[in-house]
Amino acid sequence: MMQNRLALLGGEPVIPPGTIQPWPPITETDEQYVLASLRGGKHAFGPNCVAFEQEFAAWNGNRYAITTNSGTAALHMCVAACDCSEGDEVIVTAYSWSSSATCILHHNCIPVFVDIDWATMNIDVTKIEAAITPKTKAILVVHLHGLAVDMAQVMALANRYNLKVIEDACQAHGAKFQGKKVGTLGHCAAFSFNQNKNLCSGEGGMFVTDDEELMKKARMLWSFGETRSPVEARDYHAYALGWMYRNNDLTAAFGRAQLTRLDHYLAWQKHNVDLLNAQLQGVPHLILPTAPPQHEHNWYNYVMRFDMAALGHQADAAPFRDKLVQALRAEGVEAVVWQRFILPQMTVFQAKNAYGYGTPWSSPHAQPVNYDLTQYPVAQTHCDTHACLVMTLRYPNGTETMELIAAAIWKVMENVTQLEGDPT
């Protein structure tokens, strides 16, 4: 058999099956917290929810935290808390998870997309100002993959134009900019605790802010438009339009237990990334992720790009990237393509129809917006050329696994010509 034959073509995989450990690790602490909640008899919004809010606020350095049933719910609460009204515009990155932008539609507001910066993969802060119009109410920044946006520049713009800043910190637990944690840098923020996240409670999220007014508005939306939380005497009156975004006690108990180990997990992940970065230096045609000075990456997602021009695949970048990912996966690397579409390309935006009759774009309060895809060339190139490692860099995966992952990546990239003309 040809030496170094790729596993995709019948060679021996570098990483033996079963090597990579799943996320999240479950310990006795998780079992104790969840069992105590189960036996506690309060399964809706209960004492673990209250404690989770307090503990997360303390961990992140916020005055207020409201626990939700998803990060998307917390994002919608941010949009509402910032007084965004029908037809108002919210500026957002062209490349993220869909709900970074659909949360804006949830409040009948209009997303205005801005292209990304190639190096950081985040919104290009130098292009935000040109997207501001008299209709702009807020800037929704996404600290994508766990790397904070340059908030000094964003806040300076927001102050100049009197805009609110919402942080989508759903992937960025513990990430910092200029020494300050995300979620404390804008006016309000959303975190997610779904299965993949560094803080996992199955599903769930957290709205955070230091502003009492924003907290009150977010809380009203969170629970049926009521003004009192479920632990206070309620009058069950809808003072405004509300949703049901509350968390439940079992989920919050799981989240609390995981929170006790979050700092340890984040430090471990950072160590793994340092190891991997060192071992991947010089891999042909591979562009490694970086963090600019003053940014502390949490490495939620380790995102690599392939140099398609050098590989001779600029014209068929996405299909060839898919083949590279297939080859990596065959070697046992759990590489994935994260997002296959840039946000403005998604049908809901191209069709400009969220609730029928073209709403919210057809609102008399809205002005026309342009989602011509030629405006987002960097996001598109990134989208077509990236591959990432999400959970494999997490605890308890360690040095040996990082060495195997690096060896597998070297093998694929050094033998990439084997993929030319391969019909798989």
339 binds ligand PLP (CB under 6 A): no
Distance in Å, CB of 105 to ligand PLP, minimum: 14
Site residues (CB under 6 A) for ligand PLP, limited to 175-214: 192, 194, 205
> What's the CA gap between 305 and 119, in Å, rounded?
10
97 binds ligand PLP (CB under 6 A): yes
Site residues (CB under 6 A) for ligand PLP, limited to 303-332: none
Neighbour count for residue 38 (Cβ, 10 Å): 12
> What's the CA gap between 146 and 172, in Å, rounded?
4
208 beta partners: 65, 189
Looking at beta carbons only, is 138 or 142 nearer to ligand PLP?
142
142 beta partners: 168
Looking at beta carbons only, is 13 or 255 nearer to ligand PLP?
255
User: Which 8-state DSSP code applies to residue 181?
Assistant: E
Distance in Å, CB of 130 to ligand PLP, minimum: 24
Looking at beta carbons only, is 13 or 183 nearer to ligand PLP?
183
**Six-digit token pair at 200?**
């996992």
11 binds ligand PLP (CB under 6 A): no
Neighbour count for residue 380 (Cβ, 10 Å): 22
Chain position whose Cβ is nearest to ligand PLP: 71
**Residue at 170: amino acid letter:** C
| Number of residues binding to ligand PLP, judged by CB under 6 A | 14
Looking up tokens 């008299």, which residue turns up?
134
Phi-psi region of 357 (alpha: psi -120 to 50; beta: other; left: phi over 0): left
Q: What angle do CA 21, 26, 32 make, to 5 degrees?
A: 170
Distance in Å, CB of 192 to ligand PLP, minimum: 3
Choices 126-134, 167-175, 217-225, 328-336; region in contact with ligand PLP by CB under 6 A: 167-175
> What's the CA gap between 239 and 339, in Å, rounded?
39
Looking at beta carbons only, is 72 or 269 nearer to ligand PLP?
72
Looking at beta carbons only, is 11 or 205 nearer to ligand PLP?
205
> What's the CA gap between 215 and 62, in Å, rounded?
11
Site residues (CB under 6 A) for ligand PLP, limited to 54-73: 70-72
Phi and psi of 192, rounded to 5°? -115, 145
Distance in Å, CB of 211 to ligand PLP, minimum: 21
**311-318 own/partner pairs: CB under 8 Å, 24+ apart:** 311/285, 311/416, 317/381, 317/384, 317/385, 318/383, 318/384, 318/385
Site string for ligand PLP, 77-96 (x = CB under 6 A): -------------------x
Site residues (CB under 6 A) for ligand PLP, limited to 105-144: 142
Look at residue 246 and give its three-state secondary structure: strand
Distance in Å, CB of 37 to ligand PLP, minimum: 20
Choices 78-86, 97-105, 260-268, 315-323; region in contact with ligand PLP by CB under 6 A: 97-105
Distance in Å, CB of 345 to ligand PLP, minimum: 17
Sorted by sequence, the CB contacts under 8 Å of residue 43 that are 6+ apart come out as 37, 248, 249, 250
23 binds ligand PLP (CB under 6 A): no
User: Judged by CB under 6 A, which of 60, 62, 99, 298 binds ligand PLP?
Assistant: 99
> What's the CA gap between 129 and 132, in Å, rounded?
5
Distance in Å, CB of 190 to ligand PLP, minimum: 7
258 binds ligand PLP (CB under 6 A): no
Looking at beta carbons only, is 37 or 96 nearer to ligand PLP?
96
Task: State the pairing for strand pair 295-296/110-114.
Answer: unpaired
User: Judged by CB under 6 A, which of 168, 226, 331, 384 binds ligand PLP?
Assistant: 168
248 binds ligand PLP (CB under 6 A): no
Of 373, 342, 366, 364, the closest CA to residue 105 belongs to: 366
Identify the sign of the CA torsion 34, 37, 39, 42: negative
Phi-psi region of 49 (alpha: psi -120 to 50; beta: other; left: phi over 0): alpha
The continuous run of DSSP H or E covering 76 comes out as helix 71-81
Distance in Å, CB of 169 to ligand PLP, minimum: 8
Looking at beta carbons only, is 164 or 323 nearer to ligand PLP?
164
Distance in Å, CB of 199 to ligand PLP, minimum: 11
Looking at beta carbons only, is 84 or 280 nearer to ligand PLP?
84
Look at residue 136 and give its three-state secondary structure: strand
Looking at beta carbons only, is 192 or 209 nearer to ligand PLP?
192
Which residues are at the interface with ligand PLP (CB under 6 A)?
Answer: 70-72, 96-97, 99-100, 142, 168, 170-171, 192, 194, 205
